[in-house]
Structure formats: C-alpha cells, structure tokens
Structure 1
Amino acid sequence: MVKQLYLSVFLLFSSLTLFAQPANLRLEDFIYNEKIRTVLLYPALDNPENPTRLLTPAIKPLQSESPLVLEFDDMSAQFEGYRAKIVHCNADWTKSNLNDIEFTYEYNEYPVRSYEQSFSTKVPYFHYRLELPRLKLSGNYVIYVFSEQDRKLVLSRRFMLYETRVSIEAKARFSQGIQQQFSDQQIDFAITYKGYQLNAPQTDLMVVMRKNFRWDQTKSGFKPTNVRPFDQILEYTFFDLENTFPGGNEYRYFDSRTLSGRGYGINAMERSDEFTRLILFTDKSRANGSYIQIDDFNGQYVVDQRESGRGSVEADYTPVLFSLKTEEDPDAVYYVNGAFNLWQLNDRNRMTFNSETKNYEVEILIKQGVINYDYTVVRGQGKPEEAPIEGNYAATENDYDILVYNRPPAGRADLLIGYRTVEWNRRR
C-alpha cells in the first residue's frame, strides 16, 4: 500500500513536471502554429472594442486593478479548446528560479473560455479572448497558449508588471554626436532611489531602453556616469553615444477599415467570393530624400471595422500585396516589417523580386484596420537594417521607454522596480 502511494505521488509529480514548460517554448513573442493570427496583448479599457486599446504596450503597474487582455484568432474556423500558462523571467528574459506559487495566486493554468465565431466575414475564424490573472511580483513575464487536445504550443507573448520603487527623470534630445546630430536621438536619464536599499548603487540596477516598444530595438548594460550617494541619485549622461538611437523615419501605413471603397494607401481592390484582395501603391526608398512629417502609430496597428465598430469578430482578413521599387540585389533579403508580424523577419513577410514589375513583392493575409509598416533589409550575415530604405532623421517622432530592474538581497529573480516613457517630437 505504501509502495503504491509513493508510486502515485511519483507519477503525479512526473506528469506535472512533464507539462511544466514545453521544450520548444521561446520566451519571446512568437507564433508556433500558422493557423493563429493577430495575437494582441494590451491593458484593458472600458470599451473592449476601442481600437486605440491596441496602441498601448503590454505593461502595467503591479497593483493596477485593470487586467491585461490577450486576444488571438484561429483561422481553422473550427472551435478548439485552449489553455494558458505564465512564466516569470529575469531582466534578460531567461526563466527565473521562482516556483509558480511564488508569483501566482492560483493554479498556473488558465482556460480560455471567452470565444466567438467571426460574423459576416468572407474569411471565417474563431476569436479568443483571455483576461490575465493578477500576479504577486513585478518583473518580466511570458504567457504561452497551448491546445487542450494535444497540449502543443500555439503562441507566446511577453508582458511586464512594474512597481514604482525608484523614480526616473528622462529627457530626449538630438544626438550630441557631430556626425549623428541630424540622424540620431539621445536619451539622458537619472534614477532616484530614495527609500530603496541598494548595496552597490554603481552595479545593482539593470537598465533597459526600448524604442517604440520594440524588443528588436533595445539597449542595455548602462552604468551610471555619476553617483550622488547623499542625494541617492544615479545620473546617466553619456558622451560615447551608447544612449543614442537612429531616428528612423515615420512609418508607412494603409487603411483597410472599410472594404466598400479604397482607403489610404490602397491602389486597387480585387473582390472574389473567398476574399477581398488589396493592392497597395508601390513604395520607394526614402533614404536619400528630405524628412516628411506623417502621423503614424510608431509601427503599431489597430484592428477595426468601420461599419460595425466590432473589429474583433467582424473585421475580415484580406490578402495585402506590398511592393517596393528597388534594384534587384542577390545579396540582400527584403522584408515588410511591423507590429502586425510581431516585428519578426520570417517567410511570411519575406519579399521576392518580380522580374516583370521590377519590384520586390510579398502578399500577406492581414486583418482589417490601420496598419503601420516599413521595410527591412538583411545582407549576408549582417544585422537587419531599416535605414537603407527608410533613412534616419533626427526629427522623427518616436516613443522610448526605460525599464529598471533589481534583484533584492537574497532574491531569486529580477524585479521591475521602475518604469518611464519618454516621447520625442510627439504631435498627437
């Protein structure tokens, strides 16, 4: 009897360990199954259909009563049960050593119970929605969703919860570099830690800066240039350009909120019983021209359907043809990039050269709305670059945010103890 009890406990522990974390889980924004589209994660608003809800990054105060909301579409058009789990991560997005019970208030497996079938769309889909639970600790998190049937991963998304244990003063300005003053932007900042214990102020804090809430455009590893221990202030004012970012350019965009006529950026529409295909105007390089002011969403996008106002289930999916007029370059790979593709470069947004039109082209299935995008080029084993097509201009409007992490004495994970957004040349 005792042996059977031990065996039962062992099997239970083994099963829990087996499903603790999938082996192929990537602790980043990622879609593992092609049938999943339009993965959104944002702080909830009073109106769940307000399109602007999607423009706010997935970060909120730890004690906020308003939850984060996850939405996604299943393009198989057949209902499937899904569940979600949450992983606590360190500042560098590696899994922390915390057990689930240390950061959750309940069992760490959440069924996605809110779902609805698309209505009056040519392309059918199921829309799923989940309000994330309250958690105990600040820091970096990843939520991942898997199928109830086979427990295979379908998506993962990053989010953050922060405390205001330190205060951050920040200012954006033109770069102080002689050669970069017309192309780059500089962020100077200071951290006040009054009332928060730091044993070694020079090294205890980990600071990360992001541009336009993009994880592919971050800088970290900052050390204070001046420590004022009596005032408990750390100053970060650099002269080696480590706190500067290329300005980039305003994002291109198109408006597909209504399919009854051509919206901004749409050159032609092709209608069929299966879908409505959108052909955008051919884009050209903006690298060598003058800066032109355009109102944009800094690379983000909104899902919306103008006639109904219920973009979540009444916005249709449309094949969108992007084309870029540029010379063929066999050593370069071109991509259409944006938050609509989670800022990832993959086969879905990779462009090919059309020898007839002399354009690089790609067709992508995208949900109706206002979509920001730009073009990225990768040459050989080099880093992705937007500047060769989009240019860099110091006057470009951008959003920056600063994240401050610390691991308390005897702590087993990094906590997010400070957060600040910085706007540059904001016109909205």
Structure 2
Amino acid sequence: MTLAQTTDTIIDPKIATVLLYPQVGSTQGSSAQTLNIPLVKLDDQAQSPLQLEFDDLTANYRNFRSKIIHCNANWVRSVLNDIEYTYEYNDVPITDYQVSVGTKVPYYHYKYSVPRLKLPGNYVLVVYNEQNRNQILFTRRFRVYANLLSINAGVRFSTDVSRQFNDQQVDLTIGYRAYQSQVNSPQDDFKVVIRQNFRDDRTVTDLRPSNVRSFDQVLEYNAIDLRNTFPGGNEYRFFDTRTVLSRGNYVERVDRKADRTTAYVQTDRPRSGFAYTQFDDFNGLFVIDHRETGDGATGADYIETVFTLLVDELPNASVYANGAFNFWSLDDRNRLSYDSALGGYRGRIWLKQGVYNYNYAITGIAPPVTRSGIRVDGNETLIEGDFSQTENVYEVFVYTRPPAARADQLIGYYMLDFGQRK
C-alpha cells in the first residue's frame, strides 16, 4: 500500500460523512457523540473505543478494508513495523453496514471499531478497496495519548499591543518530574504542539521553552516572539437541517423535489466590520441527526445545501464555505462562485442532515501572510474578523522519543476552553 499523504482526506467522491470518535460515557448512543474528537487515552481504549462511521453513496455493497499507520509528531509515517504498535493483524475487513431508509439519496452506512493499540502517538486510519489495496478511499487522523507529564496552560489576550483586541496567547508549563528518568536534555527532548478548535490547520509547532527550571523539573513556554499566539477568529455560523418538513434555524427556505431536497442557508454578510457578538457554537464541528426518526446514521438524507455570501467580487480570489464537514480543506467541493446578478458568492454542497458550524475562508488575497506560525493566506479574517473575546478551545500535545525508541510518542495532553459559557 502506497500512502501519499497522512492528512484527513476523502479521495473517493462517493464516500461521504466520515466520522471518527471515541464512544464516551453519557454520549454513547446519542447524536452528540460525534462531537468527541478522535483522541483516546492509552489506558481507556477498551472502555472508550474509537468508532468509525461513513457512507457509500454508490448505494451498492463494496468490500472495504482498514489499516492503521503510525506517524511521528510531524505526521510523517514512522519506521515502526505493525507488530510494534498493534495487538492484532493490521489489515481488517469492514463488514458492519446498514442501508439507508426512506432517503432520496440512497447510501450504505458502514461502522467499524478501531482495535486497541500498544503505543501512544499519532495514527492514520486508512480505508481502501479490498479488490485493489492501492486504491485508498479515505484517510482519517487520530491520536492515542498517555499522561506522563503535568501540563498547565492558560489563555490571555495577546501581549502584542497592536493585536490585543484580535489575538489570543497560550502560555503553558510542563512538569516532567515523574518522567525525568527518560529525559536527557529537557529543552530539546519534548516537541510541543498547540491546536485551536480541533483544527490541524490551526496549530503552532516548534515551540522552545522560554525558561528551564531544572531544580523543579519544569519547562515554561511564554514565547516572547509571539509564536504561541493565535488569531482569535469569530464564533462559527451555524444552520440546522435535521428536518426538512419545516425551516430549521438559519435556513431561509427548503425546496422538496422528487429526486432531491435543497436547503438554502440564510444569506450571509461579512462580520469583520462589526462588534463581537457572543453566542454558543460547536467550535467548527457538526452533528448528524434526523428529527423525525432520531436515527441520523441511516434515516438522515443528503441535502443540497446552498450557501450565499453577499460581498463585492474579490478579483483573483476564491471564496469557500469552510468547516469540519470538509476537514477544513479548501477545494472544489466547497468553493463558491461569484454571481453578478446576486451581487455575491453562492455554492452548493451535498451534506447529510444535521447541525453544522461553518465560516467563510478566502485564498488568493495578496500578499499571503504568516502570523504566529499560522499561514493566513486562505484565512477567515477578511469576512469573519478576529476578536480576542471569542470562545475557543485549545489543546496542548507533548511528544517525545524515549531513549532507544524509533518513533515519537504522545506522552502529554491538555485541553482548555477559553471563554467557556457557564
């Protein structure tokens, strides 16, 4: 099997709504369980196994198989052999499926439980055609972590006076006392990654400690070069298509035809020139659900979802409806086209019924800018704005390569919700 990339990618256009999540506690069996990100603690894999779900829009049964690939901290495939990180044979058929019920767009819905793994670290789940193992259909990232360190982090407005109303700064400390026997050079042995809103396109890497307190076995990360600073962004827009018998929240109208249903999302306008407005969101994620049956897996239909953004034409630029539903990729599937009669941009995306977060992103605005280690060409700032008050989730991942080990391991994880609504 030749794996060209280790990103979240759907290669086969007939594969849709790829979900990967741990089955955690009270969310088991509910539509909200898909808000659990693909991350599981090494010791909790048996109690909270990772569940894969996806739809095949060919509406024919196909033979799929899955394989797990171990990656280093930078998501480059490691040199480990399968037996070094798996307990079972690492090439498993996916045989659990159901047929959609009462939908205008027929599909097969597949499920698969990811087997337990031996090592903490970065992994990619690869699903491919059983008839041709080189025909990869999609790839999905996930992480397994061990808590061998003490991590503490906090978020504040940027210390850069010019960005204090727009950016958020993440300061953190790492205590390695319990792990010190494995540490040779504390300032070099740990690779720290900070991620915003579960987005791998919003990460800061290559952080160096600003202070090493050797006696306390503590590393401080308070970067004076502002590498630990993120654009605050804005709360995500959302719409609700769990039912098409009436208009859900932020849906202007629904057209029901014999062969398809089209939902027009409320017409949007830029928010960057207005004051920040507080409201709850899923931090860019989405939930699949069907109001009438309560069974989003096989009862939810695929809806032609129309996005409309009223803004003057942007020469040489491309505008996208952006969200976790497309793995934050900016491609032809979620690109909007300018309509001079409309006076704005419009695009159509086939999405399964549910509640979706989204925003608008733009590429081609010159010159491209890099701020805080994040490339802001393909940014959301022009339409959505950046506000330091925005509620955002931040995660801290700490990797190391133990002595004599041949790959990076994820030995520390910490999550904090800045501005969480009580």
TM-score (norm 1): 0.93
Shift of 1:264: 0.6
Paired residues, number: 407
Q: What is the rounded CA distance, in whole Å, between the counterparts of 1:239 and 1:140 in structure 2?
A: 29
The match for 2:22 among 43, 48, 52 is 43
Code of the residue aligned with 2:187 in structure 1: it is Q
Deviation at 1:316, TM superposition (A): 0.7
Look up the equivalent residue of 1:157 and give its one-letter code: R
Q: 1:102 aligns with which of 73, 80, 84?
A: 84
Runs of 4+ more than 4 Å apart: none
Asked if residue 198 in structure 1 is aligned to residue 183 in structure 2, the reply is yes
| 1:252 and 2:237 matched | yes
Question: Which residue does the alignment assign to 2:164?
Answer: 181
1:284 aligns with 2:266: no
Distance in 2 (alpha carbons) for counterparts of 1:407 and 1:239: 27
What percentage of residue pairs aligned between the two structures are identical? 47
TM-score (norm 2): 0.95
* Equivalent in 401, 421, 424 of residue 418 of structure 2: 424
> Which residue of the partner structure matches residue 241 of structure 1?
226
Give the drift of 1:380: 5.4
Q: What SS does structure 2 have at the residue aligned with 1:388?
A: helix
Cα deviation for residue 241 of structure 1 reads 1.4
Secondary structure of the residue that 2:33 maps to in structure 1? helix
Give the CA deviation at 1:411.
1.1
- Gaps of at least 5 residues in structure 2 are 369-376
Which residue is 1:52 aligned to? 32
Q: CA deviation at 1:232?
A: 0.6
Question: Matched residue of 1:215: which SS?
Answer: strand
Greater mean alpha carbon deviation, residues 378-387 or residues 328-337 = 378-387
| Counterpart in the other structure of 2:382 | 388
- Over residues 343-366 of structure 1, what are the superposed CA-to-partner deviations in whole Å (9 max), with x where a residue is unaligned? 101100011101211110100000
Over the aligned positions, Cα root-mean-square deviation in angstroms equals 1.1
2:281 pairs, out of 279, 296, 299, with 296
The 2-side partners of 1:425 and 1:48 are apart by: 27
Distance in 2 separating the partners of 1:424 and 1:272: 44
Paired with 2:124 and 2:51, the residues of 1 have a C-alpha distance of 13
Amino acid paired to 2:23: A
For 2:78, what is the secondary structure of its paired residue? coil
For residues 304 and 110 of structure 2, the distance between their equivalents in structure 1, rounded to whole angstroms, comes to 22
Distance in 1 between residues matched to 2:203 and 2:20, nearest whole Å: 20
Partner of 1:309: 294
Q: SS at the partner of 1:385?
A: coil
Q: Counterpart of 1:28? A: 7
CA distance in 2, matches of 1:98, 1:22: 16
Residue aligned with 1:260, SS: coil
Q: How does 1:17-416 map to 2 (within 5 A)?
A: 21-23=1-3, 25-45=4-24, 48-64=28-44, 65=46, 66-151=48-133, 152-196=135-179, 197-379=182-364, 382=368, 383-416=377-410
- Could you tell me how far 1:22 is from its partner in structure 2? 2.1
d(CA) in 1 for partners of 2:267 and 2:365? Answer: 26
